[in-house]
A and B are shown apart, each in its own frame.
Chain A
Amino acid sequence: DSGVTQTPKHLITATGQRVTLRCSPRSGDLSVYWYQQSLDQGLQFLIQYYNGEERAKGNILERFSAQQFPDLHSELNLSSLELGDSALYFCASSVEGGEQFFGPGTRLTVL
């Protein structure tokens, strides 16, 4: 158990819909990272937040957005969903510059 929690575990939705994935970092970790893992693209970095502020952006689509709240939990919002958005979404957390600890992931299926 890494100490990072993610909800929900599984999500099934339809094209065009919007979903929100939630992540609670390990106690004391100020950085939260979001990664997407699809069959054809592997594990890809989406975005990082540090203490509520956006720190780095990867290949995150404009339809996707994220935020980190004052209690340090983070949410990843995916809108106008397409079939290709079906993937595992992982959240990781770390102390400043430290090793990243990953949550169990949310499996999103878009039908």
Chain B
Amino acid sequence: DAKTTQPPSMDCAEGRAANLPCNHSTISGNEYVYWYRQIHSQGPQYIIHGLKNNETNEMASLIITEDRKSSTLILPHATLRDTAVYYCIVRVANHGNKLVFGAGTILRVKS
């Protein structure tokens, strides 16, 4: 699985959009970008994933650059409950393999 690079921490004001970047310059053509988050020692929670098109669900949007070397997770209206560690993971989908977690980005949403 390709390696990802994320900033160690970010702050965001409550109600504003939180934009979390991820670099994955060695991503292969069949690898997807996955995002998970972990709220204070709870089990990681799946957020979204995508291959090359932008994706949106009820939790977030995922923007992947055309060359697929980087992506941005967008939480459109961050709340205090979105304070968590966010993990960007690259892996081959439809392949029951493990998730490789890096250090992630600590997002602090402040009122």
Contact = CB atoms under 8 A, between A and B. Distances in A.
A94 B96 contact: yes
Interface string A47-79: 010100001101000000000000000000000
Q: Is the interface of B mostly helix, strand, loop or mixed?
A: loop
B81 interface: no
Interface residues of A, number: 28
Secondary structure call for the A interface: strand
A105 B41 contact: yes
B100 interface: yes
A84 interface: no
A28 B104 CA distance: 30
B43 interface: yes
A33 B99 CA distance: 9
Contacts of A97: 93-96
Interface of B: 34, 38, 41-46, 49, 87, 93-103
